[in-house]
Amino acid sequence: MSEMRKDPVVERWVIITNDALRSPSISREKRIGEDGLDGTDKQRDALCPFCPGNERLCPPEILSNRPDGSSPNDPDWRLRVVPNRSPVMVVEGDLKRMGEGLYDKITGVGANEVIIETPKHGIRQSQMTCDDLENVFWAYRDRMIDLGKDSRLRYVLIYRNQGSAAGATLDHPYSVLMALPIVPAMVQSKIDGAQRHFEYKKRCIYCDILQEEMREQSRIVSESRFFLAIEPFAPRLPFETWIIPKRHISSYIHTEPGEIKDMACMFKEVVSRLDASLGRPAYNCILHSCPAGNTPPGLDQYYHWHMEILPRLTARGGFEWGSGFFINPTSPESAAAFLRGIVL
């Protein structure tokens, strides 16, 4: 079983899987990616574990979108959710907190699932239909609701790596779900910041950002009925883009059907603009929702879910690692103008 360890100075958690198959000391071909998937599969696409007909290569499905009359684990699906076959965290076992000299660690209790977004191997999200993407965003919601019932799990992180430069292991479209026994540092930092703002102003900071961006206009990439896509004021990376619901919704699980439909089309538009502008870049998407289960009181008033899209255009170096901040050569105003100008 993997374990989570805490840095005693900065209180940053890491998951140590200590799995021989994941070790960089063995050959690169055998190495398993950060997403827990087996990189060797890349060399044999005929055996892509996510392609229809190869369902036996994955553990039995947890959820799927299928036509009436279709049976679980049969090939005629539109979307499938399966446990990762070499999971980083496992649901079985007790959550144990342990000391080791000066240090703290926790057993790696959690969940690690894969959302197989479409049967079509090798396509990008910009090539998926709005309906396909709507299915994906429904699956996110369903799995978040289900895993939120497990009181040991504090946070359900859903993310997507597009392209090997962004950490993707396979060319088949998939998202990764990681349910964790702690709230990750980055999420906690957002919660703390939103709480500080709320205590001071009695307003949600993301609602204030929406208002400011609507007034300012220059950082807007696109606006739909229920969502705003912006380049944030202080982007870490060139063309970093956020999609934020206009309505104040703290948890993604409270997003309504009409909103999810609208979000699917908005998302397709944004990734199409990025693909057209930047030559189909590698990117990461991260869904930032509020923690599951027993959240701090008042969190629903001051937290506001959003999605971050982070194109990975340049190798990041020591400055970022050493300082925790970023040199970005492209202002959000010029990136937004560039993305708006693309004719789709």
71 vs 323, which CB is nearer to a second copy? 323
Single out the residue of 157, 152, 171, 138 nearest to residue 51, CA to CA: 171
Residue 56 corresponds to which tokens in the numbers above? 């036996």
* Cβ(213)–Cβ(220) below 8 Å: yes
What's the closest the beta carbon of residue 311 comes to a second copy, in angstroms?
8
Cα separation, 218 vs 248, in Å, equals 22
> Are 236 and 310 in contact, with CB atoms under 8 Å apart?
yes
Q: Work out how close the CB of 220 gets to a second copy at its nearest, in angstroms, rounded to a whole number.
A: 14
Considering only 187, 244, 265, 271, the residue that binds a second copy (CB under 8 A) is 187
CB neighbour class for 199 (10 Å; exposed up to 12, middle 13-18, buried from 19): exposed
Nearest CA to 271 out of 282, 255, 257 is that of 282
| Alpha carbon of residue 84 to chain centroid | 16
Q: What is the rounded distance in angstroms from the CA atom of residue 269 to the CA atom of residue 139? A: 20
Q: Does 143 bind a second copy (CB under 8 A)?
A: no
Please pick, from the candidates 159, 174, 227, 305, the single residue that binds a second copy as defined by CB under 8 A: 159
Decide whether 120 or 201 has the Cβ nearer to a second copy. Answer: 201
Query: Whose Cβ is closer to a second copy: residue 229's or residue 285's?
Result: 285
Nearer residue to a second copy within complex by CB, 40 or 277: 277
Check residue 229 for interaction with a second copy (CB under 8 A): no
* CA–CA gap between residue 132 and residue 307 (Å, rounded): 18
Count, residues near a second copy per rule CB under 8 A: 97
Nearer to a second copy, 131 or 326 (CB): 326
Length of the chain: 344
Torsion sign, CA atoms 224, 147, 88, 16: positive
Query: Whose Cβ is closer to a second copy: residue 151's or residue 189's?
Result: 189
Residue the block writes with tokens 């699956």 = 139
**What string marks each residue from 319 to 338 as x (binds a second copy by CB under 8 A) or -?**
xxxxxxxxxxxxxx-x---x
User: How far is residue 163's CA from residue 156's CA, in Å, rounded to a whole number?
Assistant: 23
Q: How far is the CB of 154 from a second copy (least distance, A)?
A: 12
69 touches a second copy (CB under 8 A): no
Closest CB 266 distance from a second copy, rounded Å:
19
Q: Are 156 and 128 in contact (CB under 8 A)?
A: no
- Applying CB under 8 A, among 42, 121, 124, 236 the residue interacting with a second copy is 236
**x/- letters, 70..109, toward a second copy (CB under 8 A):** ------------------x-----------xxxx------
User: Which residue, 22 or 143, has its beta carbon nearer to a second copy?
Assistant: 22
Options 52, 232, 293, 296; binder of a second copy; rule CB under 8 A: 232
Residue from 48, 79, 168, 270 in contact with a second copy (CB under 8 A): 168
Question: How far apart are the C-alpha atoms of 144 and 191, rounded to whole Å?
Answer: 18
Q: Which of residues 254-293 bind a second copy (CB under 8 A)?
A: 277-278, 284-288
**Of the candidate residues 208, 225, 257, 298, the single one contacting a second copy (CB under 8 A):** 208
Given 129, 151, 189, 217, the residue binding a second copy (CB under 8 A): 189
The reply on whether position 14 binds a second copy by CB under 8 A is yes
Residue 215 binding a second copy, by CB under 8 A: yes
- Cα 59 to Cα 288: distance, rounded to the nearest angstrom: 27
**For a second copy, which residue of 79, 82, 176, 290 counts as binding (CB under 8 A)?**
176
Residues 6+ apart with CB under 8 A from 224: 262, 263, 265, 266, 269
For 53, other C-beta atoms within 10 Å of its C-beta total: 12
